[in-house]
Amino acid sequence: MSAAVARPFAALLLVATLLVAALPARAVTLLRDADIEHALAMVAAPVLRGAGLSPSQVEVVLVKDDSLNAFIVDPGTIYIHSGLVMKLETSSQLQAVIAHEAAHITNGHIVRRLGNMRNARTATALGMALAAAAGASTGSGDAAAAILLGSQASAMNNFMSHTRAEESAADISSIRTMVNAGLDPRGAVEVQELFRGQELLSAPRQDPYVRTHPLTRDRLRALQGLVAAAGARAVPDPETEYWFARARAKLAAFLRAPNWTLRRLERMPSKDIALMAEAVAQHRQSDLKRALRAIDGAIALRPSDPFLRDLKGQILLESRQAGPAVQVYAQARQLAPRNAQILGGLGRAQLAAGQYGAALGTLEEARDRDWRDGRVLRDLAVAYAKTGNTGMASEVTAQRYALQGRLHDAGIHANRALGLLPRGSAPYRRAQDIADAAARAEKKR
């Protein structure tokens, strides 16, 4: 990422600076997990292709939030709350949610709103866009929207909300997408039924999905008509079903009480998923022996699955077994050499094992492949500090705060980096962008 990339997004940056000035800092916490993101990508791929999008260009990323919502802030990412994934019962319901968001992308609904923005490609831009999304999610985005949208603001609920016209356009496109892709479109109606009646509730009692995607009785009726006309009763693809079940099982194993998971192992759809969920639950109860026995059982069933080894590496690392964790993460990397989160796990293990030089290389590679992973940025800053490069440590820390929408803290670290880095170098220019954005935001206060 060079400083030149930032220029086309100056419009967004200005908008986002205004938003941050108006909003209390509230970060969106992304839930990054190699396994779950791969599973979501497998569920999303046929939908994205059906919508004319490339699965390699649109990622589905989870937001750690119990409420129900799905949204876009740029055309390259569909954000879905973990609460919504936990609530959905079938892969075709999740595909319907993705098809609907994909339709907002292909219909240009978000791009239009954000002016010339094509992608939130800097940490500052993305961090502030996500902060705006968080404001919308809590229903506190109105003040920001008023600044952002000027006279149009009164016609819109808040910054992230779609209009009713956009909703019906997205519904029509999404059903067409599902049918073209040979997928069951009934999930779209089932998803809407989750929210039925909520339009009558006061804003704080609604799920944010209802505010960002206004539901009316007319809309539901139109959607039912579209689905009935489509008539398709496609049988879900077993591979899609498998990955949907795996994503939900892993999410639940990490988010619910370990006992809840352990009581449901018998009901899991496959033996490897049950063993994976058991490993997570035992690990969260600090039972390393049982956790390893379970994850090794899962690996024996799927020996070339990189994500099970990624989980084993995590279990070892979090149990202070840094050396063995490095070995297992290295196996995972061999199976998935380009996966940024597996690289991040390997780098984290190398850092814990005191292999600072190796960690630095691995974590820079991870950042190169995914600059939005806050945990990689945190570890990378430690690796730079351990190897005596405080200028780079400050630059990376500034990026991490910017990504969280914490522009004030980002500015402090960016200015520190500017005093230490070679003038005009690429990291110097990245720090300069953040320092400038932070200074503009301070002025608006």
Please state the closest distance from residue 68 (CB atom) to Zn ion, in A.
Answer: 13
Q: Using CB under 5 A, which of the segments 157-165, 247-255, 299-307, 335-343 binds Zn ion?
A: 157-165
Q: How far, in Å, are 83, 208, 213 from residue 69 at the CA level?
A: 8, 6, 9
Q: Which of 29, 62, 65, 146 is nearest to 406 (CA)?
A: 29
Question: Of 167-206, which residues contact Zn ion (CB under 5 A)?
Answer: 167, 170
CB of 87 to Zn ion, least distance (A): 17
Nearer to Zn ion, 81 or 213 (CB): 213
Phi, psi torsion values for 410, nearest 5 degrees: -60, -40
Interaction of residue 250 with Zn ion, rule CB under 5 A: no
Q: How far is the CB of 60 from Zn ion (least distance, A)?
A: 15
The one segment of 118-126, 137-145, 159-167, 334-342 that binds Zn ion by CB under 5 A: 159-167
Q: How far is the CB of 203 from Zn ion (least distance, A)?
A: 17
Size of the site for Zn ion (CB under 5 A): 4
Interaction between residue 211 and Zn ion (CB under 5 A): no
Shortest CB 340 distance to Zn ion, Å: 29
Nearest Cα residue to 171 out of 101, 220, 100, 224: 100
Q: 195 or 356, CB closer to Zn ion?
A: 195
Please name the residues in contact with 104: beta carbons below 8 A apart, sequence gap of 6 or more: 72, 110, 162, 166, 170
> In whole angstroms, how close is the CB of 413 to Zn ion at the nearest point?
37
Instruction: Give which of 364, 424, 350 is closest to 396, Cα–Cα.
Output: 364
How near is the Cβ of 169 to Zn ion at its closest, in Å?
Answer: 9
Distance CA 220, CA 196 (A): 9
Which residue, 124 or 158, has its beta carbon nearer to Zn ion? 158
Q: Give, as ranges, the residues between 45 and 84 that touch Zn ion (CB under 5 A).
A: none
CA torsion, points 139, 144, 147, 149, in degrees to nearest 10? Answer: -60
213 in contact with Zn ion (CB under 5 A): yes
Least spacing, CB of residue 162 vs Zn ion, in Å: 5
- The binding track of 287-316 with respect to Zn ion, each residue x by CB under 5 A or -, is ------------------------------
Q: Quick count: other Cβ atoms within 10 Å of Cβ 11?
A: 13
Choices 155-163, 200-208, 367-375, 389-397 (CB under 5 A): range interacting with Zn ion: 155-163
Rounded to whole angstroms, the Cα distance separating 268 from 283 reads 18
Report which residue's Cβ sits closest to Zn ion. Answer: 213
Nearest to 105 by CA among 154, 158, 51: 51
Spatial separation of the C-alpha atoms in residues 97 and 174, rounded to whole Å: 9
Site for Zn ion in 362-391 (CB under 5 A): none
CA gap 212, 198 in Å, rounded: 13
> Which range binds Zn ion by CB under 5 A, 190-198, 208-216, 350-358, 421-429?
208-216
Stretch that binds Zn ion, among 161-169, 232-240, 269-277, 382-390 (CB under 5 A): 161-169
The separation between CA 421 and the C-alpha centre of its own chain, rounded to angstroms, equals 31
Residues 6+ apart with CB under 8 A from 277: 249, 250, 252, 253, 261, 264, 265, 268
The nearest distance, CB 61 to Zn ion, in angstroms, is: 17
Cβ atoms < 10 Å from Cβ of 260 = 12
Query: In this chain, which of 81, 113, 162, 186 binds Zn ion, going by CB under 5 A?
Result: 162
Pairing of strands 59-63, 77-81: parallel
User: Contact positions toward Zn ion, by CB under 5 A?
Assistant: 162, 167, 170, 213
